[in-house]
Structure 1
Amino acid sequence: MKGKFGLLPRIFLAIVLGILLGLVVPKVIVEIMATFNSIFNGFLGFVVPLIIIAFIVPGIAQLGKGSGKLLGISTLIAYLSTLIAGFIAYFVASNLLPKLVGGTGSIELENPEEFLVGGLFEIGMPPMLDIMSALIFSFIMGLGISALKGDVLKKGFEEFSVIIEKVISYIIIPLLPIHIFGIFMNMTFGGQVAKVLSVFGVVFVLIIILHVFMLLLQYTTAGTLTGKNPLKLLKVMSPAYFTALGTQSSAATIPVTLRQARQTGASEKVTDFTVPLFATIHLSGSTITIVSCAIGVMLINGQDILLSSFIPFIFMLGITMIAAPGVPGGAVMAAIGLLDSMLGFNGAMLGLMIALYIAQDSFGTATNVTGDGALAIIVDKFSKGK
């Protein structure tokens, strides 16, 4: 039953019920849900540094082993693709979204901290590490483990990663719809939900357009380098796109992505190596979604969309995407720490961010895996003779 009624339908139902009940329930019900949200936000804040350590350390450590130059070329191209996707999303969304939704001033919520009803009580759950400490620790350990011949620490962090992934899969993800239900009930009770939904719709359409543009850019680059028709290459990879729409998982789509990538003409050696690697480290579609959604949520919250804030955020996001766990919404979970520490997101903003991201997660995943085919062609071109 759980498989038939997946996360996206549950999120959608939570939003609808939150809006409908927010119109009629008494304030005490909103306060009870606000209490739950406060506890959930506290738990999420406690777990975020652990998520960073659990996924970034093994992610970087695994990149230390492989096929030498082929690994280096593949990783560099994947990172560049992710950065390009992030900056395209920033420049398009930051310029178009304020115009499409009528400007920041017209959609800004009337002091989000005040219109949201507070909880009945709070439970303090201070994290063991702050976000930046967790990131620095993760980079030191990941790079250190990749340089060591032993695998004791590597196995330990991989087992820790499994534990945290289960926390995400069995606690955070199942509770997300309840959390989002509470947020939308609270916003409806405060009379702000119409403004939020108007932004949601525009952001969703913009993200899909940016996904298509990114795929065309990737395959135009691959086609130009190899002298092949980009649209024909994209057509060959289309089964991977539609498979990912259904599975919502890059890993589950690997067999189809691999089969189609071989048909593009890239060498079997390169496709067999790069496709499983890119399924882990190349998330251009997810990056477009996260950056665009972040700008949308910041507009809702009345924050300035500054390039000086987004440049380091996008560079760090490209690295953090390597750590994204393979669960629905995994990319945004990996990015929560950056949204908090670098863009100043609070609990309510993170809830909106997660809801908006998951609403189109399958499209982002489909863009990721389809782009893997283009990158495999590019890597094959640059690795010839090496």
Structure 2
Amino acid sequence: MKKIPLLVWIVVAIILGVLIGSFTPGMISGLNDLFGWSIPTDTIVQLFVSFSTIFSAFLSFAIPLIILGFIVPGIGSLASGAGKLLGSTVAFAYISSVAAGFLAITTAYFIYPIILKGQQLTSFENPEESLSSGYVDFTLDPPFGVMTALVLSFVLGLGLTALKTKTMLNLFIDFQTIIEKLLSYVIIPLLPVHIIGVFSNMTLAGEVAMILAVFGKVFVMVLILHWVMLLIQYIFAGTVTGRNPFTMIKGMLPAYFTALGTQSSAATIPVTVRSAKQVGIKDKIVDFAIPLCANIHLSGSMITITSCAVSVIYMTSGSLSYVDMIPLIFMLGVMMVAAPGVPGGAVMTAIGLLESMLGFDESMIALMIALYLAQDSFGTATNVTGDATIAALTEKLSDRMEKKDAARAASRSEAAS
């Protein structure tokens, strides 16, 4: 049986949330009148909100573990393989992701005040007065704070590069596997239920029509930015390597459409490798760069996360500070290098930063997740399609290094003779 894509589940969850928030209060009210009951009209909404409360608490608990689980082995593994090509490929991926973030925030700075004018959510000014808190008041303290997790991850990751043995690195790689399974088998599958709770609650509060209107506008803008970023990447790579950028894009289309279906950079690696080789990039470079970039080059996800985060800020406060977003973009670039190439992995890795640097609360995080996952397929497709440009730049650098080595060898040979 074919697995139902996460995007479909998210769309179904949003629709169900809207329907539950719109119709169940009236249905319960009718039953109360018919049978003389006194059931609260928001009972069903409260049940889903109660689940969301528990899920949000667990998610807050898991975020520092997610950061630690991905960043430590990410930094440790990359550096442990040292070498100029490896370092350069990582640098190309980081620069590409940061550039994508700045493209998104710059566009949002000029476009959102126009397309989202007057679309602020009044309920977020004091959520306690208009949004239900559910039947339970569940809290779960995280093992440590988000910034502590970040700093600890950098210290441990860099420290692993100084060790000659792989024992501790292997330990963190095993820990990463545990966190990936936590994401794949617990958090991601339960997200649709969480989103039902959030949207049914917001529908009950009278905000959902505005949210869905914002969804559509942000969705279109993000798609356009994905394609613009791909054009920029391929024009730059084509200019540097002497290839026709449009021919390269055409050759990478199979990878793009495969990623739309898999929603996973890692799962698309075989198609991305084959497509990159067909556009003329050397086999040895493709075999090295594409699997690496599947996990470290997330320019499409960067655009989606940044655009969605700014839209949530705009909806909830109406203020948009370009300066405040700059440090977030540089930090997100690091986290995208360490994020897993699995569905929803990028946004889960980024949640901690959104909470610590932008002050996102539970409702804002839920909106962010829903916005992101609705576009995850297209972000992933942009990620993997852009990987070929990183491979092409790495190939160009490799050729230069080989020429320099050959020149040095020839010079030594002449001097010896």
Query: Is the contact between residue 264 and residue 377 of structure 1 (CA under 8 Å) also seen in structure 2?
Result: no
Residue number among 232, 241, 258 corresponding to 2:256 in the alignment: 241
Q: In the alignment, is residue 91 of structure 1 matched against residue 90 of structure 2?
A: no
CA deviations 1:226-285 (Å, max 9, x no partner) are 222211111111111111111111111111111121222222222221111111100000
* 2:388 alignment counterpart: 373
Residue number among 334, 339, 349 corresponding to 2:354 in the alignment: 339
* 1:227 alignment counterpart: 242
* 1:257 alignment counterpart: 272
Query: Is the contact between residue 321 and residue 331 of structure 1 (CA under 8 Å) also seen in structure 2?
Result: yes
Query: Is the contact between residue 340 and residue 346 of structure 2 (CA under 8 Å) also seen in structure 1?
Result: yes
- Give the Cα separation in 1 of the matches to 2:400 and 2:370: 47
CA deviations 1:342-371 (Å, max 9, x no partner) are 111111111111111111111111100110
Q: What letter is aligned with 2:83? A: G
Query: Is the contact between residue 55 and residue 324 of structure 1 (CA under 8 Å) also seen in structure 2?
Result: yes
Backbone CA RMSD of aligned residues: 1.4
* Pair member with larger Rg: 2
Residue 67 and residue 385 in structure 1: after superposition, are their counterparts in 2 closer, same or farther (change >3 A)?
A: farther
Query: Is the contact between residue 97 and residue 202 of structure 1 (CA under 8 Å) also seen in structure 2?
Result: no
The offset of 1:28, in angstroms, is: 2.4
* 1:188 alignment counterpart: 203
Unmatched runs of 5 consecutive residues or more in structure 1: none
Query: Is the contact between residue 256 and residue 384 of structure 2 (CA under 8 Å) also seen in structure 1?
Result: yes
Q: Which runs of 4+ in 1 moved over 3 A?
A: none
- Give the Cα separation in 2 of the matches to 1:67 and 1:126: 38
* 1:135 alignment counterpart: 150
* 1:47 alignment counterpart: 62
- Give the Cα separation in 2 of the matches to 1:327 and 1:85: 20
The offset of 1:67, in angstroms, is: 5.6
With structure 1 as the length reference, what TM-score do the two structures score? 0.96
The offset of 1:168, in angstroms, is: 1.3
- Give the Cα separation in 2 of the matches to 1:251 and 1:11: 21
Residue number among 175, 186, 190 corresponding to 1:175 in the alignment: 190
Query: Is the contact between residue 72 and residue 153 of structure 2 (CA under 8 Å) also seen in structure 1?
Result: yes
Residue number among 269, 276, 294 corresponding to 1:279 in the alignment: 294
- Give the Cα separation in 2 of the matches to 1:144 and 1:346: 33
The offset of 1:61, in angstroms, is: 0.5
The offset of 1:311, in angstroms, is: 0.8
* 1:9 alignment counterpart: 8
Q: Secondary structure of the equivalent of 2:134?
A: coil
CA deviations 1:186-240 (Å, max 9, x no partner) are 0110111011011100000001100000000001001111222211111111111
Query: Is the contact between residue 66 and residue 349 of structure 2 (CA under 8 Å) also seen in structure 1?
Result: yes
Q: In the alignment, is residue 32 of structure 1 matched against residue 47 of structure 2?
A: yes
Q: In the alignment, is residue 65 of structure 1 matched against residue 80 of structure 2?
A: yes
CA deviations 1:38-76 (Å, max 9, x no partner) are 111111111100100011100001111336110111111
* 1:108 alignment counterpart: 121
Residue 385 and residue 224 in structure 1: after superposition, are their counterparts in 2 closer, same or farther (change >3 A)?
A: closer
The percent identity for this pair of structures is: 53
